[in-house]
Structure 1
Amino acid sequence: MSDLVVHETASCYAFARFGRQWRLCVIEHPRLGGELVPGGHAEAGEDALATAVREVLEETGHRVRLLPPPLPEGYPHPAEASVWHVASMPAAPDNRCGRNHVHRDHIVVGAIDRPFAVHGTPEHTVRWVEHGALDRLNLAEDTRVLAGELFEMIDRVAAARPRPAVDKRLAAELLRRQEEDQAVRLVPVAERTPELMERWRAVDEANTAWLRELITARGWPGEAMVGRQAAGAAWLIAQHADRQPDFQQECLELLSAAVTAGDAEPQHGALLEDRVRIARGQQQIFGTQLTQGSDGTLVPYPVANPDEVEELRAAWGFAPLETYIEQVAAGVR
């Protein structure tokens, strides 16, 4: 066995929330055939975690955030991302080794907080699959077994922890600022004086500055920190931080991670995703951002995948697009 060739590799089981449902990222491999989770060989001097993150980015275009293995309920300390398992897998000759060899595969689990954000050109076709679809895929049996097990535990693995007691004082301040935000916006258009519009600007700028300071000091104010209603107020302030686009982008990243952790409302993540995309001149995903058409009626800004938008809206719990436009036009949300 002294001449056994062993290659260090890493595989990443990367999950994302689609609304309230988890999906697993798989690639269609053109050489090996069938579906695989992203992964590949380590480069010189590269540890397994870095290999997994790099391979996910290269093969799928997604940025993955690695998750720690599960700890017992009530464990008081935060865990760090690490390798979950190491498996020795026989490998046939390939372009790296001309004979049978072994892959010492480091298996990690990760979250892709923004499954519609692609960074670079993916090397392979990417699919997002539900738990119930595993048996219909051309997966290796080891991948199918482990993926099925991970689907059962991903909620707990991704959950926000530790979960301190709700900060009631902070929650009250968020709700107070939400009231100010809405007070200026609910004034009928015909009654919006220059003084009101200046007040509107001042409220938004003050709320944005305050939220920036809060995030710097304590991170994103999710449901674990401030409760569900006040967490919604934090999203609203970020949604209206249009004068600070870089900060709004930062909020999107933090809110998306909170959604993954079950610490924020998925619809809020979708709304801010569309808002940031339109502000950056990109096509939106869910059709939540509207503008006036040439005939004066409300229409969505351009949507990336019009054929899929209704399915996506349903997965996130939004009304059909036509109904949504009617509700917004009538002043109902």
Structure 2
Amino acid sequence: MGDLMVHETATCYAFARFGQEWRLCVIEHARLGGELVPSGPIEAGEDALAASVREVLEETGHGVRLLPPLPGGCPHSAASLVWHVVSTPAADDGHCDRQRGRRDHIVVGVVDRPFAVHGTPKHTALWVERSALDRFHVPDDTRVLATELFGVIDRVAALRPRLAVDERLGAELLRRQEEDQAVRRVPVAERTPELMERWLAVDEANTAWLRELIAVHGWPGEALVGRRAAGAAWLLAQHADRRPDFQRECLELLAVAVTAGDADPQHGALLEDRVLIAQGQRQVFGTQLMQGPDGTLVPYPVRNPDDVEALRAAWGFEPLEAYIGKVSASIR
């Protein structure tokens, strides 16, 4: 009997928040058939963590952020992000006189922006909700572990530790939100050049202040400033259009906060659309409107028109027609 030849692999269970629910990323694997979670060999010079991040990026186009296991929930070192190591024999293909085995390093991660795809993925990626797992052709062991992970992912991804609410900082955010809204509440017919100068000055001052706040505290989520003030922070970022690089930075930080349950998913969706439109891309949720040829409001181009209503519902938005009607009435 020959020596044992062990193939080191890495497998990543990558989750993302879709509104208030979690979904698992799987790939359609034409050669092997069915759906699989991203997995592949650990290459020379890599560790399991680097390999898992690379595999997710190459196979799905998504950037994944790895999460530590829950305390006491993993037999490995608390300092490791590897959740399990599973050793299994590999099938004999008749081409090698050595016994072959596989040692798979299993990790768990989150994709903070599941609509952002980088590069050209090798496979089609699908986001599967817990209730739909049985409708997909995933291996039995994957289905069992995925079901267990769906039960803990909310706790694993949650902000740790929770911070004490900074009342002073929250009050300042709410004050700046009121300034932001005061200039925007003036009816269109009454907007003078002086008002528009004031509008610009308010936005510039709020953007500069928010940049300084983030440099010191990170993203001001609900744990730091409370729910209402966290919404004010999103609003200031939403109106930072004259600083697109900073606005994109805010989107990345807000997306992490949404994943951790520290920010409103709708705010993440609204800023996602805002940044995409600013970059000349199609939006996802249809939240950004423009004036159509007949003077009525219409959405900027949407990435997947057939899916937009389902996505809006998952995030708790009203149907697009009702939304357009409400916005139109508010600016008359």
SS at match of 1:287: coil
Q: 1:300 to 1:35 in 2, by over 3 A?
A: same
Distance 2:98 2:36 in 1: 22
Distance 1:97 1:210 in 2: 65
**Aligned CA-pair RMSD:** 1.8
- In structure 1, stretches of 5+ residues that fail to align are 74-78
Partner of 2:217: 218
Distance 2:191 2:159 in 1: 42
1:133 and 2:116 matched: no
1:45 and 2:49 matched: no
Distance 1:14 1:147 in 2: 10
Partner of 2:196: 197
Partner of 1:13: 13
Partner of 1:237: 236
SS at match of 2:8: strand
Q: 1:93 to 1:220 in 2, by over 3 A?
A: farther
1:311 and 2:310 matched: yes
Distance 1:198 1:98 in 2: 79
1:97 is displaced (CA, Å) by 7.3
User: Deviations along 1:86-141, whole A, 9 cap, x unmatched?
Assistant: 001232367x9797621110000000011010001110111110111122221111
Judge conservation of contact 1:10–1:105 (CA < 8 Å) in 2. Answer: yes
- In structure 2, stretches of 5+ residues that fail to align are none
Distance 1:232 1:296 in 2: 31
1:71 is displaced (CA, Å) by 2.4
Distance 2:214 2:280 in 1: 26
Judge conservation of contact 1:49–1:82 (CA < 8 Å) in 2. Answer: yes
SS at match of 1:330: helix
Distance 2:291 2:164 in 1: 44
Distance 2:285 2:90 in 1: 42
Q: TM-score, normalising length from structure 1?
A: 0.94
Q: 1:99 to 1:241 in 2, by over 3 A?
A: farther
Distance 2:208 2:146 in 1: 43
The sequence identity of aligned pairs, in percent, is 77
Distance 1:105 1:93 in 2: 18
Q: 1:43 to 1:130 in 2, by over 3 A?
A: same
Judge conservation of contact 2:2–2:98 (CA < 8 Å) in 1. Answer: no
Distance 1:126 1:214 in 2: 36
Partner of 1:84: 83
SS at match of 1:5: strand
Distance 1:139 1:87 in 2: 18
Q: How many pairs does the alignment contain?
A: 326
SS at match of 2:104: strand
Q: 1:183 to 1:4 in 2, by over 3 A?
A: same
Distance 1:178 1:331 in 2: 18
